[in-house]
Amino acid sequence: MTPMPTTSDPLPPIVNADWLADNGAGVVVCEVGSSMTGGDPEEAYEKRHLPGARYVSLDTVLATPPSVAGGRHPLPTADDFAADLGALGIGDDMTVVAYDRRAGGGLAGRLVWMLRIIGQRAALLDGGLGAWNGPVESGPVAVEPVDRAVRPWPSGAVADADTVAQHIRAGGVVIDSRDPARYAGEVEPIDAVAGHIPGAINLVYTDNLDADSRFREPADLTERFAATATDDDPIVYCGSGVTACHNALVMEHLGLGRPRVFVGSWSAWSADPDRPVAVGPTP
């Protein structure tokens, strides 16, 4: 990836382990986990995590309970998000670096995106836990709760199903971040309906990574997102608004702007019987 910033530079959406080792004293590290990956993610965190890392639950901190309109992982209220981060000792002015145990940060990207859209310095750790060569810790981390200001979700950062439909009708770019087999409707392990939003292109988020689960070179990634050049305000989605954030962060890192995220994603779109569904490998 591109060179990492010094402490005085604006923080890009992605940093590497060397940058974290050099700047860790001024950073809050977070491990993001979810029950949807199987097992007990918090137990895994307590067995081995980066020094001082706070555990952040995707299911309870980064989302509210599922709903038909909101999908599987709706955004929490701004008040709840501020309260939960405050309880984790994450103040408004703190820099956050997040990672998870999946390839390339498919879960942690959600926290980074949420923080960045409300104006807080946050970045995804390239390579995650596997890229860290320094010491690790076990057990819970003691934190001092802090008060946080409530920052509303900016309307320009998110999209709903109607906005997605209108954007496609206008010729805009909508990116489906899921596996090609799910996009094509060949398999659907979670939602009741298989397929994709008609008109959406497929750029699975894992193709942002190389064989070592590190981000590919900027030139390769820029070529990968070439289709977005025709749209200065694209929209990304996935199954439930989580891994779509991975694509959103890469696009921002490349200087392509920050796309809107359809947080309800396929879980919300497919739950509405009036929404059209496409199958097959093309839009």
Is pLDDT above 90 for 166? Answer: yes
pLDDT single digits (tens) 13-58: 999 999 999 998 889 999 999 988 788 999 999 999 999 999 999 9
Mean pLDDT of all residues in the chain? 94
The yes-or-no answer on residue 30 being catalytic is no
Catalytic residue among 107, 112, 238, 249: 238
Is pLDDT above 60 for 111? Answer: yes
CA angle 44, 47, 48 (to 5 degrees): 95
Is pLDDT above 70 for 1? Answer: no
Domains of the chain: 14-131 (3.40.250.10), 155-269 (3.40.250.10)
Average pLDDT over residues 59-83: 97
Half-sphere exposure of 216 (CA within 13 A, CB side): 17
Average pLDDT over residues 141-152: 96
Alpha helices by DSSP H, listed for the chain, are 17-23, 41-47, 78-87, 108-117, 161-169, 180-184, 218-224, 244-253, 265-269
